[in-house]
A and B are shown apart, each in its own frame.
Chain A
Amino acid sequence: MATTRTKCFALLASALIGMTSAAFAQDSGPLLDLLVKKGIINDQEAENLRAELVKDFAANTSAGKLNLGSTLTELRIFGDARVRYESRTGELPSGDTQERDRFRYRFRAGLTGKLVNDWSFGVRLETATGSRSSNVTMGDEASGAPFAKGTSTTNNDGVYVGQLYLTYAPSPMFSITAGRMPNPLNTTLMVWDGDINPEGLAEQFKYRDGANEYSAVLGQFLYSAASTQNAFGSAPKIKDAGLLAWQGGYKRYIEGTTTFFQITPTLYNYVRASETQNSAAIKGEFTPSNAAAINNLFVFEVPFEYDWVLSGVPVRAYADAAINFDAKERAKKFGTPNLDNQNKAYTIGFQYGKAVNKGDWDARIFYQSVQAFALDPNLVDSDIFDSRTNMRGVVLSGDYALGGATMFTLTGARAQRVNNTIIAPGSGDIGSNNALDKYWLLQADIVVKF
């Protein structure tokens, strides 16, 4: 006849094994130790039970099959998939219009890992080759074969390395990152498209003293690398074109972490922009036929925002102002020396709510004006004003959370030229004619994040 102790053990064993989940199997050690300590089971019985639990964990969970390196202390897998309907319309001064309606998709998946000795890494793969877009246009096969994948210059079904960076953070206050990284600067769509991952080095400092937080970000980005710096023979020496950024930051916490004010003035300096052997698109002078040139850009940007909670709803008021201190020369080389006052840009916006959980919604509105010589047209957002400067207009956007991981977003924009005497330079999606006068955008997105 079984003893009470044997019955207890059998009951316990079946209960523990019956309840096997990944977390339970891993957390059962202290419970078994306690049972041993109380004399309910002995060490060998605990060991048998532990082995059964681990076997079950190993056999029935994916985590049990992972064999991660001992230098890895944390690993995160993340990504998103988006399906979009987009309609862009442009109008020339003559009244002629162009419409471009597209169904598009985007996929991004990444890994970030923390390693021993204060190192970490990140890598993200994403569709499409462009720096400012990971979108693939459906049915965009140039070869004529339907549903082809990535064989044409216009279709970007391929998967590319969007981010790859290493970070050394010897203290919570300081880190240095090298590689192709998420933009380390606090900025807005007015200056930087959110899809751009700059390449180079970035150093970040952050120090908090009570309610005051001070920060600095220094960026040394390789804008365009020369293929050879010092070729054999008598060829001239060429150097890489670079973008240097200095950002200082101040954040004042007013109530918890939800009510605060933040300002992050930033100075951008383009170095060796005129090197003749650098990327053909960026070298030379900014002219109506060479809108990607980065000469005479010395930009100062001041993003600031105030976040607070209004009747339980998070709200955000924000703005960004920028000026190009070298716009006079840029305008002169463009052939419009009289327009050297077209050197400023600003955006001002307001957001109500923050869609996070199922059923949540938010809405935002902002007005933006970017004069022709104020900013680098290669960096400004590619969607809202078609990658162009000399545009001003209003953007309305809203999110509705279909689920904890699924978001529906609707965005509409209307813009027109700031100054009608010059073109709206930039490499937009609406035609190649920079004489674009008016512009409309409608986007409907469903995004799934994991």
Chain B
Amino acid sequence: MKKSFLILAAALAATGLLRAEKLVIKGSDTLGAKLVPQLAEEYKSKNPGISFEIAAEGSTTGIAAIIDSTAQIGMSSRRAKPTEMSGAQAKGVNLKPTIVAYDGIAVIINANSPITKLTKRQVEQIFAGDITDWSAVGGSAGKISIYTRNTSSGTYQDFKDLAMNKRDYAGSSQKMAGNEQIASEVSKNPNGIGYVGLAYTNTPGIKVVPIGGVLPSKETVIAKQYPYARPTFYYTNGEPAGEAAKFVEFTLSDEGQQIVEKVGFVPIR
């Protein structure tokens, strides 16, 4: 009997009738470009029947996907806005945040820049467009090129809140699709400045600037000394269930948090 069942299962699998369960995860590029794919690979190795669909197009898309029920997990590097909460409630969706890792938004400049430090005030002035030349902050004369994330990015909003007193970015700032694009542009532009998550600070050709004398690191983020430290989230519709709950549990497990640290984020414990 047991043998017959195994043969039947093998036959069904071979004909595609036994389908693997798919976990749809959408949202933050900060989480979705590196961390979540690696977590997914590790999870799949332990749960062969599971497949993943991961779309990293910004935190806004992740929260929207939970509200629209087009994903089981929404990745977000920012908190849900009141309008998103009310939109979710109107559709009977209960947005629940789960902190999965901490991050520090690192301010990066070209590796050849003579700048060695910036103050919080200078960062605000640069990104808001009050300061437009590096000579105003101790650098060599040259027009500052600002690279930011696009408006669907949680990092875009978080940086405004944490670093810019909620002011808007300079009109001249260039909006990039992801952390890697910002790091790439800054590495090529001697007058460039941008910001990336901690996991993206090892790109060749860039350097991280201490803010008020503090560099983003595991220690300064956990101690909340670094001014642009933030939690990152999975959003689910209420308490996660089924495979999503297992993947959240895996992310929060010791093994998952080791991957968090390995990728460059700060683990939650």
Contacts and interface: CB of A to CB of B under 8 A. Distances in A.
A116 B168 contact: yes
Interface string B137-153: 00000000000000100
Given A43-B231, A64-B83, A66-B83, A58 B268 contact: no
A71 to B, nearest CB: 7
A58 B85 CA distance: 6
A64 B83 CA distance: 6
| Interface size range on B against A | 20 to 34
Given A50-B79, A65-B83, A58 B168 contact: no
B82 interface: yes
Interface string A25-59: 00000000000010000011001101100110111
Interface string B73-103: 0000001101101100100001111110000
Nearest to B235: A51
Contacts of A44: 98-99, 268
Nearest to A67: B83
A70 B171 CA distance: 13
A49 to B, nearest CB: 11
Interface residues of A, number: 22
Contacts of A47: 79, 97-99, 231, 233
Contact of A54 (B79, B99, B171): B79
Contacts of B121: none
A51 to B, nearest CB: 5
A230 to B, nearest CB: 38
A50, A54, A73 — most chain B CB neighbours (10 Å): A54
A58 B224 contact: no
| A interface majority secondary structure | helix
A66 B97 CA distance: 22
Contacts of A55: 85, 89, 94-95
A65 B84 CA distance: 9
A117 interface: yes
B14 to A, nearest CB: 44
A326 to B, nearest CB: 47
Given A59-B86, A64-B86, A117 B80 contact: no
Contacts of B233: 47
B168 A71 contact: yes
A288 B231 CA distance: 79
Contacts of A73: 168
A37 B233 CA distance: 20
A51 B98 contact: no
A51 B171 contact: no
A410 B96 CA distance: 59
A54 B82 contact: yes
Contacts of B96: 48, 51
A18 B19 CA distance: 48
A377 to B, nearest CB: 47
B162 to A, nearest CB: 12
A51 B80 contact: yes
Contacts of B268: 43-44
Contacts of B86: 58-59, 64-65
B201 to A, nearest CB: 23
B79, B82, B83, B94 — most chain A CB neighbours (10 Å): B82
Interface in A60-87: 63-67, 70-71, 73
A43 B171 CA distance: 35
Nearest to B169: A116
A390 to B, nearest CB: 55
Contacts of A64: 82-83, 85-86
A70 B80 contact: no
Interface string A271-296: 00000000000000000000000000
A91 B90 CA distance: 65
A58 B99 contact: no
Contact of A51 (B83, B95, B224): B95
A144 to B, nearest CB: 47
A57 B81 CA distance: 10
Nearest to A33: B224
Contacts of A116: 168, 171
B200 to A, nearest CB: 23
A28 to B, nearest CB: 12
A32 to B, nearest CB: 11
Interface in A169-217: none
Contact of A58 (B82, B97, B171): B82
Interface in A236-251: none
A44, A66, A73 — most chain B CB neighbours (10 Å): A44
Given A54-B85, A55-B85, A64-B85, A43 B80 contact: no
26 contacts: A43-B268, A44-B99, A44-B268, A47-B79, A47-B99, A47-B233, A48-B97, A51-B85, A51-B96, A54-B82, A54-B85, A55-B85, A55-B94, A55-B95, A57-B82, A57-B85, A58-B83, A58-B86, A58-B89, A63-B82, A64-B82, A64-B83, A64-B86, A65-B82, A67-B83, A70-B151
Given A48-B97, A66-B83, A73-B168, 7 more contacts: A47-B79, A50-B79, A58-B82, A58-B86, A59-B86, A70-B168, A116-B171
CB-based closest 6 A-B pairs: A58-B86, A58-B85, A116-B168, A64-B82, A58-B82, A67-B83
